């Protein structure tokens, strides 16, 4: 097996530094500069995988991102393994381990290959058709299909690699570092454009880099030598940034592009550690020059998928660039001139070329003449009708084409070979252009789709723009660049170019065979295993749209997005349906151009940085006192403070009892706070809240409900009048940013006449809330000189105060129904104030409580939480809060909606209290409430919104919304659960202290 297929001619492979790697468990050797594919080929390994549907042996076919077959699993570690990578793009490194995919138990003996013998039974959409019926059998089918489908294995542990994102702004982005890209980058940078040049290979130069042929010369040098000098000259350009190993993934509108840079994939295993593996560049370019080149097309003929059948241009790259012979007896099969470049390269490197089979009648170009001069045999007007060899090609069968090209005539010839190069012409890489919204046009003479119109500031140059010949590439690119950049660069004005010209063209999408179509296997999409026959079947079955044919046959839907298959699929569809290709259009090219790792997509937004966290100034104290935290929006709020082995329930019961029995302390710093100033502040509040504000005295606080224009409750909170034209509004924790945004919106757009200014002060203040019967005593210790008498400082009022000379605002407001105070102090003193209050409260067993206890305490009082007991469909009337709607005010946000026909319906869901017959039974939040359990279907009348076991009442309590609930007080209802039905009774929403005596206790 291990023949040495290396020749010594390559400057790009360092044959002094040997690299060992493993493929399918076997240790092999390659050199620095190799890709996995070139190293495998040098070891005479073509067979690298099994096809997706029929499990046919498949070999390396190409040398770039379009590779459909050599899709391998890299790495064996459970956290580092990566499926679906292209062997043609993996740079070889010491320690690389790769394995074949989609085969079991091994690539050489694959059980699924039995599918190949049944292949006449597995036509297009076989799975769709067969496993449709009966519907409930799908569960059964799925298991087997999933097992035999799919490509590669996912890692089972978190990725250890580091990924990164970076924004980048440039004047000109050049995508592709081939000859036209180099010319573009140099022109742009020399003319003071801040330029970025990216290329997906490790080295610039594209295919010209190894084009050393008499037929392609610039200024009397081989084109590769000329280009190398140009690349060398780039180094001196200050405005130019070059990124190699960087592949453009997506091109969005507004010239926003994403490119993935591979930073460590090519490094030896031990060098990768602690470095960023891949970086996703988020590029904003003023101008974009696409110079992505073209891909060679395969030819579609019977059994065109055997290992050893490769794109002709790839064979050329393997010999000229990597110094690797893809075979020792190579045949070439073509419809154009480029295969002759391969023939000449092979011949010059001492590899014997059996013959070139050309479907054309003749070609008189320079390059063909040169091949003839070298004595290369050419079969004009012939086609390959079959290939032989199971795991590797060993011979081909050739026949003469009829004049119209639809059939074959004459005698069949057999030619032995160990490699067949195929060339079906060239497809411009227009993927990025179309991703960006550009429209394509069709050029008939060589059947290519080319960039036509685009809304963006961009151009395509070189072969991705349909210029395939050296003189055209240089001349047209230079002109286009100058026009696009509005510069007059004459560096390339007088180039002397020798370029072979292809005059004779011929194309047959599906080549004929001596066997009838049904008996042949002409593969179109190698990765998804669909044949030309499948496409024809789809058309016979009535599919007309190419998008439908694509989905029905899965042609072009594999991880390569049909880079090699699309054009032939379109050609065969057009031909069979009798329409012009240009009218048929193409399927949509979607980003990413080549698959992106999830790591590159998420960057460093993992672990600690998965989501943003906000912390209060008192956070460290909570953490130190064993608090469990709850996420409220982005905030980390203390949830409860377990002591010893307490579980959440036990901790919450203890905290709730302590707050009512003596004193509790809560960190309320997360509440949204908006400073409102201006001579129209009162009028503004009148308009945004449902209740009236003009008469609120200075120094007093008031609770307000804010609605949306549709009348539904949006937010709530207490607002304090600090002075004549100065208020402090509080909002819910989660609603803070939205409320401020909404209020700014009204001020800027609906009421610009109001003299009102809003400033967020949420983070400026820490808020310490002390509640319970002993709260007054504690506060008097903290602020001894503040008069706390009910007369001087009644419920719903506020005082300015000084604590150790630090200004603070004390509000006597309550969300628990207890006598309570909220102290607002600038955040830097928040933690210290909290500690001071805690110290002062020690003699009263002051108990820190978290959000869970807060929710329980307010539920005992029937206070709502906007967003928990409301869900955007509750009006204040639904909440039984009619008292808060001012009858006198002419207008406020949402007022008119409160008497729309829908909002005044009696049978709306309304907020009620709910008591379980069994006081120990705690309802589940979200549970449905019904009146009737026997009748089918059961009408669901409402659901539980808040539910707790109240230690202060020693029973279970709940809030719920129930249809027509207001009138149903005392009604027995049911909450059906999975294993039982719970009996409940509708009650008032206030469970504790209906007379509000505790507020002044």
Nearer to other proteins, 282 or 963 (CB): 282
Structure tokens at 850: 């978290």
Applying the rule CB under 8 A, the residues between 107 and 166 that interact with other proteins are 162, 164-166
Beta bridge partners of 492: none
With contacts defined by CB under 8 A, name the span among 11-19, 523-531, 740-748, 929-937 that binds other proteins. 740-748
CB of 757 to other proteins, least distance (A): 4
Nearer to other proteins, 493 or 608 (CB): 608
Here's the x/- map for other proteins, 257-286, by CB under 8 A: it reads as -------------------x-----x-x--
Angle at 870 between CA 866 and CA 876, to 5 degrees: 90
CB of 633 to other proteins, least distance (A): 11
CB of 748 to other proteins, least distance (A): 5
* 900 forms part of the interface with other proteins (CB under 8 A): yes
Is residue 679 packed enough to be buried (19+ CB in 10 Å), middle (13-18) or exposed (0-12)? Answer: exposed
* 256 forms part of the interface with other proteins (CB under 8 A): yes
Q: How far apart are CA 277 and CA 296, in angstroms?
A: 31
User: Given candidates 94, 159, 504, 710, which one binds other proteins under the rule CB under 8 A?
Assistant: 710
Question: Which one, of 30, 181, 190, 56, lies nearest residue 112 by Cα?
Answer: 56
Nearer to other proteins, 148 or 826 (CB): 826
* 838 forms part of the interface with other proteins (CB under 8 A): no
DSSP for 287-338? EEEE---EEE---B-TTTTSTTEEEHHHHHHHHHTS-B-S-SEEEEEESSTH
With contacts defined by CB under 8 A, name the span among 3-11, 657-665, 669-677, 856-864 that binds other proteins. 669-677
Applying the rule CB under 8 A, the residues between 576 and 635 that interact with other proteins are 604, 608-609, 612-617, 635
Nearer to other proteins, 411 or 453 (CB): 453
Q: How far apart are CA 242 and CA 244, in angstroms?
A: 6
User: Given candidates 11, 252, 441, 515, which one binds other proteins under the rule CB under 8 A?
Assistant: 252
Nearer to other proteins, 511 or 736 (CB): 736
Question: Which one, of 764, 762, 807, 802, lies nearest residue 783 by Cα?
Answer: 802
| CB-CB contact of 506 with 405 (8 Å) | yes
Angle at 412 between CA 411 and CA 416, to 5 degrees: 145
CB of 800 to other proteins, least distance (A): 12
CB of 760 to other proteins, least distance (A): 7
- CB-hemisphere CA count at 13 Å for 355? 18
User: Given candidates 725, 780, 964, 985, which one binds other proteins under the rule CB under 8 A?
Assistant: 725
* 836 forms part of the interface with other proteins (CB under 8 A): yes
With contacts defined by CB under 8 A, name the span among 79-87, 480-488, 793-801, 827-835 that binds other proteins. 827-835
User: Given candidates 650, 675, 683, 993, which one binds other proteins under the rule CB under 8 A?
Assistant: 675
* 678 forms part of the interface with other proteins (CB under 8 A): yes
| CB-CB contact of 5 with 42 (8 Å) | yes
| CB-CB contact of 969 with 916 (8 Å) | no
Nearer to other proteins, 228 or 836 (CB): 836
Cα distance from N-terminal residue to C-terminal residue, the chain: 94
Nearer to other proteins, 619 or 861 (CB): 619
Nearer to other proteins, 680 or 925 (CB): 680
Name the packing angle between helices 179-190 and 223-234 (round to 10°): 30
Nearer to other proteins, 98 or 825 (CB): 825
Q: How far apart are CA 975 and CA 933, in angstroms?
A: 9
DSSP for 620-672? HHHHHTT-EEEEETTEEEEEE---TT--HHHHHHHHHHHHHHT-EEEE-TTSE
* 891 forms part of the interface with other proteins (CB under 8 A): yes
Which helix or strand (DSSP H or E) is residue 451 part of?
Answer: strand 448-453
Nearer to other proteins, 94 or 630 (CB): 630
Total interface residues for other proteins by CB under 8 A: 75
Nearer to other proteins, 349 or 760 (CB): 760
With contacts defined by CB under 8 A, name the span among 2-10, 25-33, 481-489, 738-746 that binds other proteins. 738-746
Nearer to other proteins, 97 or 667 (CB): 667
CB of 715 to other proteins, least distance (A): 18
| CB-CB contact of 599 with 280 (8 Å) | no
Applying the rule CB under 8 A, the residues between 159 and 218 that interact with other proteins are 162, 164-169, 194
User: Taking phi first (over 0 means left), then psi (-120 to 50 degrees means alpha), and beta for anything else, what does residue 730 get?
Assistant: beta
Structure tokens at 790: 């009910």
Applying the rule CB under 8 A, the residues between 452 and 481 that interact with other proteins are 455
Q: For 590, list phi and psi in degrees, rounded to 5.
A: -115, 150
Applying the rule CB under 8 A, the residues between 326 and 355 that interact with other proteins are none
Which helix or strand (DSSP H or E) is residue 532 part of?
Answer: helix 532-540
Q: Residue 47 in 3-state DSSP? A: strand
Sequence-distant (≥ 6) Cβ neighbours of residue 693 within 8 angstroms: 682, 685, 686, 702, 704, 719
Runs of H (alpha helix) within 820-898: 830-841, 851-860
* 890 forms part of the interface with other proteins (CB under 8 A): yes
Beta bridge partners of 450: 441
DSSP for 57-75? EEE---SSTT-SS-EEEE-
User: Given candidates 241, 347, 677, 928, which one binds other proteins under the rule CB under 8 A?
Assistant: 677
Nearer to other proteins, 164 or 514 (CB): 164
With contacts defined by CB under 8 A, name the span among 74-82, 215-223, 365-373, 892-900 that binds other proteins. 892-900
Question: Which one, of 771, 793, 572, 750, lies nearest residue 668 by Cα?
Answer: 771
With contacts defined by CB under 8 A, name the span among 387-395, 411-419, 444-452, 825-833 that binds other proteins. 825-833
Here's the x/- map for other proteins, 421-450, by CB under 8 A: it reads as ----------------x-------------
* 748 forms part of the interface with other proteins (CB under 8 A): yes
Q: Residue 833 in 3-state DSSP? A: helix
* 761 forms part of the interface with other proteins (CB under 8 A): yes
CB of 754 to other proteins, least distance (A): 11
Nearer to other proteins, 252 or 994 (CB): 252
Applying the rule CB under 8 A, the residues between 762 and 821 that interact with other proteins are 762-765, 803-807
Applying the rule CB under 8 A, the residues between 284 and 303 that interact with other proteins are 284
CB of 160 to other proteins, least distance (A): 16
Applying the rule CB under 8 A, the residues between 40 and 69 that interact with other proteins are none
CB of 802 to other proteins, least distance (A): 10
Structure tokens at 322: 């990597």
Runs of H (alpha helix) within 323-428: 338-348, 366-373
CB of 711 to other proteins, least distance (A): 9
CB of 569 to other proteins, least distance (A): 28
Q: How far is CA 327 from the centre of its chain?
A: 41
User: Given candidates 190, 831, 858, 908, which one binds other proteins under the rule CB under 8 A?
Assistant: 831
Q: How far is CA 707 from the centre of its chain?
A: 36
Nearer to other proteins, 265 or 418 (CB): 265
Nearer to other proteins, 168 or 930 (CB): 168
């Amino acid at each position: 097996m291990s023949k040495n297929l290396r020749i010594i001619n390559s400057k790009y492979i360092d044959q002094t530094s040997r690299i060992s790697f493993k493929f399918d468990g076997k240790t092999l050797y390659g050199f620095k500069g190799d890709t996995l594919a070139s190293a495998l080929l040098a070891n005479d390994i073509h067979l690298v995988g099994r096809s997706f549907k029929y499990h046919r042996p498949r070999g390396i076919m190409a040398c770039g991102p379009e590779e459909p077959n050599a899709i391998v699993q890299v790495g064996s570690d459970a956290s580092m393994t990566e499926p679906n990578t292209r062997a043609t793009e993996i740079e070889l490194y010491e320690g690389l381990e790769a394995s074949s995919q989609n085969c079991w138990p091994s690539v050489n003996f694959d059980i699924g290959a039995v599918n190949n013998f049944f292949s006449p039974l597995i036509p297009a959409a076989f799975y769709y058709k067969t496993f449709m019926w009966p519907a409930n059998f799908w569960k059964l089918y799925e298991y087997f299909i999933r097992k035999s489908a799919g490509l590669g294995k996912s890692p089972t542990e978190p990725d250890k690699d580091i990924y990164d994102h970076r924004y980048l702004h440039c004047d000109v982005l050049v995508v592709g570092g081939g000859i036209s890209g180099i010319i573009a980058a140099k022109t742009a940078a020399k003319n003071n454009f801040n330029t970025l040049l990216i290329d997906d290979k490790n080295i610039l130069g594209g295919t010209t880099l190894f084009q050393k042929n008499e037929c392609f010369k610039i200024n009397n040098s081989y084109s590769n030598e000329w280009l190398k000098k140009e690349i060398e000259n780039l180094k001196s350009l200050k405005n130019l940034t070059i990124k190699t190993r960087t592949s453009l993934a997506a091109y969005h509108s507004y010239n926003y592009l994403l490119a993935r840079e591979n930073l460590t994939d090519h490094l030896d295993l031990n060098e990768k550690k602690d470095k960023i593996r891949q970086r996703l560049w988020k590029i904003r370019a003023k101008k974009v020059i696409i110079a992505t080149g073209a891909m060679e097309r395969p030819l579609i003929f019977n059994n065109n998928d055997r290992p050893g059948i490769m794109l002709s241009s790839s064979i050329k790259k393997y010999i000229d660039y990597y110094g690797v012979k893809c075979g020792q007896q190579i045949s070439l099969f073509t419809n154009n001139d480029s295969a002759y470049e391969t023939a000449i390269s092979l011949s010059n490197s001492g590899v014997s070329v059996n013959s070139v089979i050309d479907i054309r009648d003749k070609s008189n170009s320079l390059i063909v003449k040169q091949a003839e001069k070298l004595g290369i045999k050419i079969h004009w007007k012939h086609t390959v009708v079959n290939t032989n060899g199971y795991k590797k090609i060993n011979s081909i069968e050739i026949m003469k084409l009829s004049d119209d090209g639809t059939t074959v005539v004459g005698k069949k010839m057999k030619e032995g070979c160990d490699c067949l190069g195929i060339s079906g012409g060239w497809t411009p890489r227009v993927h990025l252009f179309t991703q960006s919204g550009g429209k394509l046009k069709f050029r008939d003479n060589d059947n290519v789709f080319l960039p036509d119109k685009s809304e963006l500031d961009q151009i395509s140059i070189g072969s991705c723009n349909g210029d395939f010949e050296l003189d055209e590439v240089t001349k047209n690119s230079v002109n286009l660049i100058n026009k696009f950049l509005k510069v007059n660069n004459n560096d390339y004005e007088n180039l002397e170019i020798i370029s072979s010209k292809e005059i004779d063209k011929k194309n047959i999408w599906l080549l004929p065979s001596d066997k009838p179509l049904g008996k042949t296997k002409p593969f179109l999409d190698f990765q998804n295993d669909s044949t030309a026959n499948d496409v024809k079947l789809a058309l016979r079955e009535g599919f007309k749209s190419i998008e439908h044919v694509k989905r029905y046959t899965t042609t072009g839907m594999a991880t390569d997005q049909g880079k090699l298959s699309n054009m032939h699929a379109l050609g065969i569809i057009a031909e069979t349906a009798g329409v012009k290709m240009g009218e048929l259009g193409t399927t949509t090219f979607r980003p990413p151009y080549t698959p992106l790792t999830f790591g590159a997509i998420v960057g460093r937004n993992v672990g600690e940085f998965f989501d943003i966290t906000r912390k209060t100034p008192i956070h460290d104290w909570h953490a130190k006192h064993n608090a469990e935290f709850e996420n409220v929006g982005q905030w980390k709020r203390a949830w409860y403070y377990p002591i010893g082995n307490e579980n959440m329930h036990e901790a919450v019961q203890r905290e709730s009892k302590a707050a009512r029995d003596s004193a509790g302390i809560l960190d309320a710093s997360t509440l949204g706070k908006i400073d409102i100033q201006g001579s129209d502040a009162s009028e503004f509040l009148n308009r945004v809240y449902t209740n009236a504000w003009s008469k609120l005295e200075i120094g007093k606080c008031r609770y307000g409900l804010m609605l949306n224009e549709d009348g539904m409750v949006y937010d709530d909170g207490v607002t304090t009048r600090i002075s004549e034209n100065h208020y402090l509004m509080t909002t819910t924790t989660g609603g803070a940013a939205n409320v401020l945004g909404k209020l700014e919106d009204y001020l800027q757009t609906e009421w610009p006449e109001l003299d009102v200014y809003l400033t967020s002060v949420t983070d400026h203040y820490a808020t310490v809330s002390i509640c319970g019967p002993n709260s007054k005593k504690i506060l008097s210790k903290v602020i001894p000189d503040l008069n706390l008498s009910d007369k001087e400082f009644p419920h719903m009022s506020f005082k300015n105060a000084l604590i150790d000379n630090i200004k603070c605002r004390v509000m006597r407001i309550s969300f628990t129904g207890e006598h309570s105070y909220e102290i607002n102090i600038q955040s830097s003193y928040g933690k210290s104030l909290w500690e001071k209050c805690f110290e002062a409260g020690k003699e009263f067993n002051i108990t820190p409580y978290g959000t869970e206890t807060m929710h329980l305490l307010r539920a005992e009082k029937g206070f709502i939480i906007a967003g928990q007991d409301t869900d955007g469909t509750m009006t204040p009337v639904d909440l039984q809060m009619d008292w808060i709607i001012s009858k006198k005010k002419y207008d406020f946000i949402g007022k008119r909606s409160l008497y729309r026909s829908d909002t005044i319906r009696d049978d709306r869901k309304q907020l009620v209290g709910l008591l379980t017959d069994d006081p120990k039974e705690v309802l589940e939040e979200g549970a449905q409430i019904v009146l009737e359990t026997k009748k089918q279907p059961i009408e669901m009348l409402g659901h539980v919104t808040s539910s707790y076991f109240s230690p202060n009442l020693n029973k279970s309590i709940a809030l719920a919304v129930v249809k027509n609930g207001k009138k149903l007080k005392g009604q027995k209802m049911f909450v059906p659960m999975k294993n039982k039905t719970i009996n409940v009774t509708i009650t008032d929403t206030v469970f504790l202290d209906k007379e509000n005596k505790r507020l002044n206790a």
